[in-house]
Structure 1
Amino acid sequence: MAPSSLFAVGLVLAFCYLTSFTASADIVETSFHVKNLTANRLCQEQVIMAVNGSLPGPTLRVKEGDTVIVHVFNKSPYNLTIHWHGVFQRLTQWADGPEFVTQCPIRPGGNYTYRFNLTGQEGTLWWHAHSQWLRATVHGALIIRPRDGQKYPFVKPFLEDTIMLGEWWNADPNDVENAALATGAAPVNADAYTVNGWPGDTYNFCPSNKTYRLDVVPGQTYLVRIINAALNTQFFFKIANHNFTVVAVDAAYTNPFQTDVVLVGPGQTTDVLLTANQSPGLYYMAASPYDSGIGIPFNANITTGILAYQNTTQTTPTLPVMPAFNDTPTAFTFSTNLTALVTSRFWSPVPRTVDENMFITFGLGLSACGSNQTCGGIFQQRMAASMNNNSFVLPTRMSLLEAYFRNVSGVYTTDFPDQPPMVFDYTNVSNSFNQSLLMTPKVTSLKKIKFNSTVQIVLQNTALVSVENHPMHLHGFNFYVLAQGFGNYDPINDTRKFNFVNPQERNTLGVPTGGWAVIRFRADNPGVWFIHCHLEVHLPWGLGTAFLVENGGTPESTLPPPPADFPQC
């Protein structure tokens, strides 16, 4: 059967499958206009890129099963793509969005329409630019509520609210990135952190500064959706004198978990129930950085919003006591106490047979300084990052997905290694500046996987250059987090720690600083799927690769052709 006929049959089957479950589904259609916006923060006007004139950008509110259509008009001076973070994109792989992975960018003055379905997903996701550092200001929430006739698997909240944590530069973030890439050195840190686009009033007073405010009614319970849209900062989040019940992470329901602090890394989302059960007053909600890197400079400020009780007469908010910036025990306790709600209608048991076993070391390193270059990295080389000592380079003449679909050679290879090229004491800081371990080649190497294979990956941090907690994000799938720990992974003893009963599901995981994590997923979604560190500083340095999941031999498991308006390089 011809590919076009196969695709047509696939669409019919997919339509029949979806309509059997989506009697209450809708089409949600909107437009994103990305263009200059002059914003005033920290007593300074700065031109930023923004969607529809707002920071954060518009929230997309949909129901599970809905189809989303977003017309993106790029009126900015930069190349642009939009990624729908956490969306599976089944039969809509061309809408995933990472630049030169699934698509060429939308050029200035161009447009592209993203179309995708949200069947089988419920909770808090988000969208953001996936080109250079544009996601610093080009981002917004994607809220997926239960379809008509369905309910949350927890008490119905009185109201819902969304908290987007971010970063602010008194500069164009793309200029910040480009200045660093020009020398191979690390970029400068953000000037402020933000809550829903505002630094809050704990920064130096400025008439143009605003503080986000959430008004609450005493005794009522609120569903608060926390999204970390920052480029390079993981956050501890607290509200003074209040506790949370975590009920979901990355749009996957969890068993209720009581805590007074939430850790949320870049790309992650956390849904919590908050009961307004304190004395009427003003309480700061605060986000402070979790600085997992040893010896790496960071901005130690905090950002705040205000939780305000109805009819309060208090004028000065109460500030919570925040964890120390390097409080890894608190970060690890939060991350490892989350478990899946297996009674959720979206839960599937962990596949027990593994087809692909991978052990991936990852972290920072160096690439060689080219001739006629001025390099500001360690040992006068260029800063780099790698997975299994492969430092990933994106193509520029065609996206990886299009090259795969059209069978174009010379764009990528499929020899990404299942094991690191050298065994050493990965988390021993005495190896941090061992030049024989630091140097990494620049390649565009993918891992090819057969459709419906079960893939297990040991993600092993290294101590090269620095020990850090890296938030690793996988496109196109959720994965089960079977276990996490510190030091070097022990294949004999650590296997006994695997949780096959109710492991948390995520699309983004902060692998413990100086440690490891084991994840597992079923590769039942054909296409090319990026896996990368969601610290934006590490992505252009090469901390990523991609999984090429082959077609499955049926119309509904076959990559469809690109849409007619697909951007061209």
Structure 2
Amino acid sequence: TFPGPLISAQKGDTLNINVTNLISSPRVRRSTTIHWHGIFQHRTSGSDGTAQVSQCPISPSHSFQYQFGTDGQAGTFWYHSHLGTQYCDGLVGPLVIYGESRINSSLECCLSLSSDPQDPLASLYDVDNQNTIITIGDWNHLPANEAFRDTTILQPNPDSVIINGNGRFVRGPEFPVTPWPVSVIGPVTRNLRYRFRIINTSCYTFFNVSIDKHTMTVIEADGTEVNPLTVDSFTIFPGQRYSVIVKADQPVGNYWFRTTPTPNITNWDQNKDPAVNNAIFRYEGAPIAEPTTTFTPPTKTLREWDMPGGTGLPDKTFVVPINLATIWTLGNGSFFGTAVPTLMQILTGSISAQKALGDDNVVTIGYNETIDLTLVNDCDPGVPCAIEDNHPLHLHGHEFAVIQAANQPTPNYKNPPRRDTVAIYNGNVTIRFNTLNPGPWIFHCHIDWHLAQGMALVFAEAPDRIKSGPDSVILPPGWKDLCTIYDSLPPDQQ
């Protein structure tokens, strides 16, 4: 299926997920990994799924079982390949962790449990099930390897927007829109309140999301609940997730669920057909027809610093410049992975507790430290940043406090929003996290084309504690064999 099937769990569960690699097309990467985006992986960094950081890839016709707990987490997550640009070919899917008192694992029941002690906001909505999960993304008609190889710019322009696996393609003014089905959100029952879990799985595009004639109340960002905030639009970047509550309080009918792509590349929509980038928000009892509603400019747009979620001084401060020459750099270097995964280097003693940031873009940080990262995205003085200079930065193994978001006038040390993926525009962003989760954690741009061009660094967090003690890594069966098998493959199988 595309996207991949929903994986759901209860808070406190341990997941054992067996991945069998049946990829056979010679036009795509044959090996693979699966990353569980947003899961902290405490003591299970070998299951983080990052190629050449936490594991060697799973070779064709082989299997590997990821084993990890939920570490008290609940919220909206997702999974995707973390090898090259492979997830751009559609290896993505939703992952939702519900509060532990939600006992209906089949999710066929439509009503949430308002008495759920694990979700203090459950009384705000009525419906939260598999039908209220929305994945949005972009799509290239060529396999990612070929699209990336053939582009003459920094990243290939997508051909379509896809919502829950469906999209339309405009081939130019001389052709009509292809008659593929547009996604339908619903049908929703009038006067019920729906929790929609929206996941941006795209490789490049960020979206301005709105629903004609409806408001949305944001209650979660990247797996972390936030104080409810009602808006009429929000921007979601690759890797980010939002839960919003929408009350079906309008007359029965069809309304556009708008996912306006940015950049609004003209060859996506040469016919200017409104259905190309949108889904239908349909009420129960409405005719099977496309909406005729029109777009109203938003008056209340979500700003990152409007979502209150640490005080004190940091133990270490890193200033991380973002640059582009022939490749992207993060912290004056680039990371392309190593033949021996970072985790294996730590376990064999090749990475010491005193390692500084070097040419490999791997740096050691200690245990129980407060780390501030200031991300500096300097464009030419006086010249606005181009679209490709907007970067969603994702940190594995952690959530962080966004002390100062892009374009935020002053820092917020009192109640900063917490998330795992932050967007940086023109200027600086400062984030803060605590090092209480030993492991090798990659920090990278979630525009997958930029990651493939080296826009990443790796924090080797508390390497001595990874090897022994109460935080030592618990490796899944067969983890060490992955490298032996993968290293023996010919290049076209890797």
Give the structure-2-normalised TM-score: 0.83
SS at match of 1:166: strand
Match of 1:539 in 2: 451
Distance in 2, matches of 1:408 and 1:323, equals: 56
With over 3 angstroms needed to count, the CA separation of the structure-2 counterparts of 1:312 and 1:157, relative to structure 1, is: same
Match of 1:145 in 2: 98
Aligned residues of 1:167 and 1:231 also touching (Cα < 8 A): yes
Equivalent residue in structure 2 for 1:456, among 349, 352, 372:
372
Distance in 1, matches of 2:267 and 2:331, equals: 27
Distance in 2, matches of 1:84 and 1:228, equals: 14
Aligned residues of 1:288 and 1:303 also touching (Cα < 8 A): yes
Question: How far does residue 447 in structure 1 lie from its aligned partner after superposition?
Answer: 1.4
Question: How far does residue 278 in structure 1 lie from its aligned partner after superposition?
Answer: 0.6
Match of 1:389 in 2: 332
With over 3 angstroms needed to count, the CA separation of the structure-2 counterparts of 1:274 and 1:499, relative to structure 1, is: same
Match of 1:317 in 2: 291
Residue correspondences, number: 443
Aligned residues of 1:415 and 1:447 also touching (Cα < 8 A): yes
Mapping 1:125-204, distance limit 5 Å:
125-136=77-88, 137-148=90-101, 150-154=117-121, 155-160=123-128, 161-180=132-151, 185-199=153-167, 204=176
Query: CA RMSD, aligned part only?
Result: 2.8
Distance in 2, matches of 1:298 and 1:120, equals: 45
Question: How far does residue 409 in structure 1 lie from its aligned partner after superposition?
Answer: 7.0
With over 3 angstroms needed to count, the CA separation of the structure-2 counterparts of 1:100 and 1:270, relative to structure 1, is: same
Equivalent residue in structure 1 for 2:281, among 307, 317, 320:
307
Question: How far does residue 122 in structure 1 lie from its aligned partner after superposition?
Answer: 0.9
Equivalent residue in structure 1 for 2:390, among 454, 469, 481:
469
Question: How far does residue 536 in structure 1 lie from its aligned partner after superposition?
Answer: 1.0
Mapping 1:506-525, distance limit 5 Å:
506-511=419-424, 513-525=425-437
With over 3 angstroms needed to count, the CA separation of the structure-2 counterparts of 1:298 and 1:232, relative to structure 1, is: farther
Question: How far does residue 179 in structure 1 lie from its aligned partner after superposition?
Answer: 3.6
Match of 1:221 in 2: 193
SS at match of 2:136: strand
SS at match of 2:303: helix
Distance in 2, matches of 1:401 and 1:88, equals: 15
SS at match of 2:167: coil
SS at match of 2:449: coil
Question: How far does residue 319 in structure 1 lie from its aligned partner after superposition?
Answer: 4.2
With over 3 angstroms needed to count, the CA separation of the structure-2 counterparts of 1:307 and 1:65, relative to structure 1, is: same
With over 3 angstroms needed to count, the CA separation of the structure-2 counterparts of 1:518 and 1:534, relative to structure 1, is: same
Identity across matched positions, percent: 28
Is 1:115 the equivalent of 2:67? yes
Aligned residues of 1:413 and 1:446 also touching (Cα < 8 A): no
Q: Which residue identity is paired with 1:164?
A: T
Match of 1:51 in 2: none
Aligned residues of 1:286 and 1:320 also touching (Cα < 8 A): no
Equivalent residue in structure 2 for 1:212, among 184, 189, 204:
184
Distance in 2, matches of 1:485 and 1:227, equals: 21
Question: How far does residue 398 in structure 1 lie from its aligned partner after superposition?
Answer: 1.4
Question: How far does residue 210 in structure 1 lie from its aligned partner after superposition?
Answer: 3.9
Q: Deviations over 1:112-157 (max 9, x none)?
A: 1100000221110100011122212011111111111524222253
Q: Deviations over 1:55-88 (max 9, x none)?
A: 0001111111111111000011411000000000
Aligned residues of 1:201 and 1:210 also touching (Cα < 8 A): no
Aligned residues of 2:438 and 2:462 also touching (Cα < 8 A): yes
Q: Which residue identity is paired with 1:529?
A: W
Aligned residues of 1:211 and 1:305 also touching (Cα < 8 A): yes
Q: Deviations over 1:235-293 (max 9, x none)?
A: 1111111100000000000011110112110000000000001111100111111239x
Moved more, 466-475 or 55-64: 466-475
With over 3 angstroms needed to count, the CA separation of the structure-2 counterparts of 1:501 and 1:552, relative to structure 1, is: farther
Distance in 1, matches of 2:118 and 2:441, equals: 32
Distance in 2, matches of 1:58 and 1:447, equals: 36
SS at match of 1:89: coil
Aligned residues of 2:403 and 2:413 also touching (Cα < 8 A): yes
Is 1:239 the equivalent of 2:221? no
Q: Deviations over 1:293-338 (max 9, x none)?
A: xxx98846752111111212483414452769xxxx987x522212
Q: Which residue identity is paired with 1:239?
A: I
With over 3 angstroms needed to count, the CA separation of the structure-2 counterparts of 1:101 and 1:316, relative to structure 1, is: same
Question: How far does residue 498 in structure 1 lie from its aligned partner after superposition?
Answer: 2.5
Match of 2:325 in 1: 365
Match of 1:274 in 2: 246
With over 3 angstroms needed to count, the CA separation of the structure-2 counterparts of 1:322 and 1:112, relative to structure 1, is: farther
Distance in 2, matches of 1:141 and 1:508, equals: 16
Q: Deviations over 1:429-474 (max 9, x none)?
A: xxxxxxxxxxxxxx41211101111101111112169542210000
Match of 1:343 in 2: none
Aligned residues of 1:526 and 1:549 also touching (Cα < 8 A): yes
Match of 1:425 in 2: none
Aligned residues of 1:414 and 1:447 also touching (Cα < 8 A): yes
Equivalent residue in structure 2 for 1:261, among 210, 233, 245:
233
Match of 2:303 in 1: 334
Question: How far does residue 214 in structure 1 lie from its aligned partner after superposition?
Answer: 1.5
Mapping 1:8-27, distance limit 5 Å:
none
Distance in 2, matches of 1:249 and 1:507, equals: 9
Q: Which residue identity is paired with 1:205?
A: V
Moved more, 200-209 or 95-104: 200-209
SS at match of 1:176: helix
Match of 1:15 in 2: none
Distance in 2, matches of 1:413 and 1:79, equals: 33
Aligned residues of 1:455 and 1:521 also touching (Cα < 8 A): yes
Question: How far does residue 537 in structure 1 lie from its aligned partner after superposition?
Answer: 1.4
Aligned residues of 1:482 and 1:498 also touching (Cα < 8 A): yes
Give the structure-1-normalised TM-score: 0.73
